[in-house]
A = this chain, B = another copy of it.
């Protein structure tokens, strides 16, 4: 398996999905000093309430953002794939408002926030692109509000799968129709506001209706069109093909 040329390569590639970068801006981002850190499965990367002085860019593995309600119930509001800046939000905010958690073995590049700010001051175009990138995370979170607030159980799970698949595609991950499914049924419940028991029943329904197969940590989509219809999935909010319609 070929190594990516640079730890931040996938990050630049992702940004170019929604913003055009000049060669100088690409270089400026790739030149950001960063250190590689590894996290074992199920390990906290950032804790809510802590002050954060940098951000992680995922090089491999999966991570999620979550908060814990007063009852102790966990709510996941984003799942991240290779190339995502998982924690820029927390670094720019005065303190972290949410947890970041590694799902499986994670390799991440850590960048000091000061270096990012300095680079942005030099390169307004790159600044705009990175700002936009953080706002796309916001757009995704808004769609999650809709998912949890206004869709029934099957649709919620199906929608989550559609998003996961689309993001893996965009990151160049899904090979031959098979995708990674890093979430347990418990975690799927925490994404969708359901219990793991009910998630299990929805999965069986989706399997019996020929929408997906899900074995172990491998997800296969059997009927993408019907899956998106069940899910009420409109991929625009992910902004993975935005370059064409881009304003400036």
Produce 1/0 per residue, A225-248, CB < 8 A to B: 000000010101101001001111
Contact B150 A193, beta carbon cutoff 8 Å: yes
| Given the contacts A97-B236, A193-B149, A247-B53, A143 and B89 also touching, CB distance less than 8 Å | no
Cβ of A144 under 8 Å from chain B? yes
Contact A145 B75, beta carbon cutoff 8 Å: yes
Task: Report the Cα distance A92→B132, complex, angstroms.
Answer: 6
Chain B residues contacting A193 (CB-CB under 8 Å) are 148-150
Cβ of A84 under 8 Å from chain B? no
Interface residues of A in 52-80 (CB under 8 A from B): 53, 65, 67, 69-71, 73-75, 77
| Given the contacts A71-B232, A124-B117, A127-B120, A141 and B138 also touching, CB distance less than 8 Å | yes
Task: Report the Cα distance A66→B89, complex, angstroms.
Answer: 22
Cβ of A135 under 8 Å from chain B? yes
Produce 1/0 per residue, A82-99, CB < 8 A to B: 000000010011110110
Q: List 6 A-B contacts (CB under 8 A).
A: A74-B150, A93-B135, A93-B136, A95-B245, A97-B237, A148-B193
